[in-house]
Amino acid sequence: MSNVSQVAKESVTEIGRGVYIASLLPSATIVLSLYALIASHLYPWAKPIAQGGARPSTVSPGIASIVHTTTSAGPIGYVLLVLGIAVGAFLLRPFQVSVVQFLEGYWTGALLRGLPAALAIERHRRIWSVNDARRRASAAKAQSSEFEEVAAFAARAAAADRIKRRGIRVVARYPGQSAWILPTLLGNHLRRAETTAGERYGLKTVITYPRLRPHLSDPVDRAIAARLAVIDNSSMYFFIFGFEATVTGPLLARLDGWSLISPMFCALAGLCYRGARVAARAYGLALATAYDLHRFDMLKALHLRLPGNLEEERDANEELSRFLEEDPMSLLPPAAWDAYEHEGSEQSATEARSASQSGAPSGP
């Protein structure tokens, strides 16, 4: 079995039922909605379906037209509809990663990478800088002990505290540095998670997480995977509902109850995006938890000495991150690697010395 096939098999095994949610339902939603829109004859330019017989009549647009079109197609129509859903599931699956990357703000192409991306980034940088200043705000002290002055100071202190807490909440949505800000809020949530989880201990998250993941406990690993699955699925459904809002846009010209379909899809797309943002913040917490609990397991697997305090840990981890980030052939190992820490090595050395002194063989 090739490496690509092995990776695909392991991915499907890990996702499990999520494969059907991430692939089948989105494609079914698109195919069935497009079929329903065309068969309903609700578009302003569509003509009603004419029925023959003794008393010729027309089928009213909407559900009646969908039922009439479906029943008229017969078994062949059902087979084609099922095939359309299956083909849609096959074609949409590879685009899921691209959809998530687009919502994160990794825009490609000259049209998006230029002015739109610059304007979006500048907007988020302004929000970040304003709230970064707000979280440092403090009320002016009272000038005297008079009741009016003390009461005014209490009101100013309460207002400053509200502003400060709001600034802290907003800044917590963004990366630690303005240079890392992305065009979208979802991307900034994920960028913050990927630049703070291990960095608190001197470890670069993006570089060291592949070495950390094999040592995660099952609850932490499942929590991270579950939040990533929610982000992927929410992003995919955001794209689908946005597409549905676009294709149903012409129904606004009807000025009747069917005109509410497009705004409804817009609201659903907004809810999906909000859900992806909430999952992204929860993912950041889960990722930070992984480093809080299992970073020493990674160091033990690398046979490195465990640090004695936080300052020593940060210095050693920064050196380790630089070594893992660079080409190992062009960078000397960290100073902490001058001697490895093997589990049980001291006990084995003691037993060997005792055996040599007694004249007994030290091994087979």
pLDDT, tens only, 324-340: 886 666 666 666 666 77
pLDDT, tens only, 245-289: 999 999 898 888 888 999 999 999 999 999 999 999 999 999 999
Mean of pLDDT over the chain: 79
Domain ranges of the chain: 3-93, 108-181, 185-333
Residue 99 has a pLDDT of 78
pLDDT higher than threshold 50 for residue 105: yes
Reported as a pLDDT band with limits 50, 70 and 90, residue 163 is confident
Reported as a pLDDT band with limits 50, 70 and 90, residue 361 is very low
pLDDT higher than threshold 70 for residue 221: yes
pLDDT, tens only, 73-97: 778 877 887 887 777 777 777 776 7
Confirm whether pTM is higher than 0.75: yes
Looking at per-residue pLDDT, the higher value among 349 and 131 belongs to 131
Residue 75 has a pLDDT of 81
Average pLDDT of 345-351? 50
Token duo for residue 208:
């060291």
pLDDT higher than threshold 70 for residue 349: no
Residue 47 has a pLDDT of 78
Residue 12 has a pLDDT of 41
